[in-house]
């Protein structure tokens, strides 16, 4: 299990425990965190679970694959270094303490 901090665009923080094996997106969905819409349900077919990863975590996460890179082209104001799709981040003990911030909107 990992404790993940989701920060809304307005600064409101939600710290939740997310079970290993779920994705960061599923953790947000299951805990009613606003700002992650996840329209495609985690199929990496949209960009509505886009977040900005805290700079301290960028190098600790697995690299983006080609499909995630392609979908991030459709995200609102993607950051070439910090943007990730939460449906592509599988929760493990190594993600304990992860901090992500939602953009002002999802598209």
pLDDT single digits (tens) 12-32: 999 999 999 999 999 999 999
The total of structural domains in the chain comes to 1
In-domain check, residue 106: no
Q: Give the range of the structural domain holding residue 22, as residue numbers without chain letter.
A: 2-101
For 70-107, the pLDDT digits (tens) are 999 999 999 999 999 999 999 999 999 999 999 999 98
Q: What is the mean pLDDT of the chain?
A: 97
Q: What is the pLDDT of residue 49?
A: 97
In the chain the first and final C-alpha atoms are separated, in Å, by 30
Sign, Cα dihedral of 45, 47, 96, 4? negative
If DSSP codes are grouped into helix, strand and coil, which group holds residue 64? coil
Which CATH number fits the domain that encloses residue 97? 3.10.20.30
In-domain check, residue 107: no
């Amino acid at each position: 299990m990992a404790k993940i901090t989701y920060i809304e665009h307005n600064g409101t923080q939600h710290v939740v425990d997310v079970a290993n094996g779920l994705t960061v997106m599923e953790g947000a969905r299951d805990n009613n965190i606003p700002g992650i819409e996840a329209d495609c349900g985690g199929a990496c077919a949209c960009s509505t679970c886009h977040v900005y990863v805290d700079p301290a975590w960028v190098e600790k996460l697995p690299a983006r694959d080609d499909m995630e890179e392609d979908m991030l082209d459709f995200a609102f104001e993607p950051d070439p270094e910090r943007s990730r799709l939460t449906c592509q981040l599988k929760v493990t003990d190594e993600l304990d303490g992860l901090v992500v911030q939602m953009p002002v909107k999802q598209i």
